Amino acid sequence: MSFKGMKSNKKNLFLIYLLVSLGLAHHFEDEIEESVKGCSQEMVEMMDGENDLYTVSIIFWVFRTYGHNISSGKDF
């Protein structure tokens, strides 16, 4: 997986996923909540043209893990 060319919001969500996977997310809860809230406002832009299922699944997992339930339909 390469982060080259990926926008910073997606990079933030991947970083959050990594922190949770490593068991370190509890050290950064405030920063994670702020980042997820900021990313949720740009969800349509983030998902526009995204065709990598792995990336989409991580984005959905992070949002749902932090209480931002999103529709799986086209009307994000």
Domain coordinates in residue numbering, the chain: 8-65
Render pLDDT for 40-52 as a digit per residue (tens, 0 to 9). Answer: 888 888 888 888 9
Lowest-pLDDT range of 2-16, 31-45, 49-63: 2-16
Contact 62, 25 (CB under 8 A): no
41 vs 2, which has greater pLDDT?
41
**pTM across the whole model:** 0.81
